[in-house]
Amino acid sequence: MDRLEVQAQNREATGKGVARKLRAQGRIPCVLYGKDIKPVSLSVNDHDFEKTIHQAGGMNSLFDLIIDGKEKMPVMVREYQADNIRRNFLHVDFIQVDLSKKINVEVPVELVGVAPGVKEGGILDHIQRQLEVICLPTSIPEKIEVDVSGLNLGESLHIHDIKLPEGVEVSGTTDLTIAAVVAPKAEKVKAASEEEGEGATEEKTEA
């Protein structure tokens, strides 16, 4: 599958005033970073970039950045700033990617299936919503699906219990809990209150 492309333009001027003018023109100020290159100031069309991000399925996607219609290089989004209310992009940092070297990246975790413990009255607690993995830039999964259809009440799934896509490995410990089926808190509070009440009654009787 061909990678999606992001068209960018060089920009000489920098600063807050320039950035405001670019946004008013429907463009997002950007900076390109790389191991063997100096930071390059760029801009991209805001509508086209948001559309590309949506088509790619998220910020972990690999793109081909085309500068002034000439230079073409694989990049990923390193960091970005967005408006707190409108959520539109205000600034984007791209990082040049070496396709032959593995990278660390966080991937969202999605729970699939219905846990039997939930049918028993338990609550499915999704604890680990992001998973840091190591893989080639061309093998970054859009998400990692975790099947909870075998979880009974009081049981949990850990990172070492799940099957990762081929070529993807976990960065760090595998003992972290991904999801668990726990008893409702309301029932715990009720049980604790009843125990306290019984204790108070016994003390009063003894007095």
Domain of 144: which CATH number?
2.170.120.20
Per-residue pLDDT, 196: 58
Rounded CA separation 80/190 (Å): 46
pTM score of the predicted model: 0.74
Residues 80 and 10 occupy one common structural domain:
yes
Could you give the number of structural domains in the chain?
A: 2
Per-residue pLDDT, 207: 37
Range of the domain at 136: 103-188
Stretches where the chain sits below pLDDT 50 are 186-187, 189-190, 200-207
Rounded CA separation 47/21 (Å): 16
Cβ neighbours, 10 Å, residue 159:
19
Per-residue pLDDT, 51: 92
Tell me which DSSP letter residue 26 carries. Answer: T
Rounded CA separation 207/205 (Å): 5
Residues 71 and 116 occupy one common structural domain:
no
Q: What phi and psi values does residue 117 have, to the nearest 5 degrees?
A: -65, -30
Residues 125 and 80 occupy one common structural domain:
no
Residues 65 and 80 occupy one common structural domain:
yes
Rounded CA separation 183/37 (Å): 54
Residues 55 and 129 occupy one common structural domain:
no
Closest CA to 29 of 47, 11, 50: 11
Residues 118 and 167 occupy one common structural domain:
yes
Residues 67 and 46 occupy one common structural domain:
yes
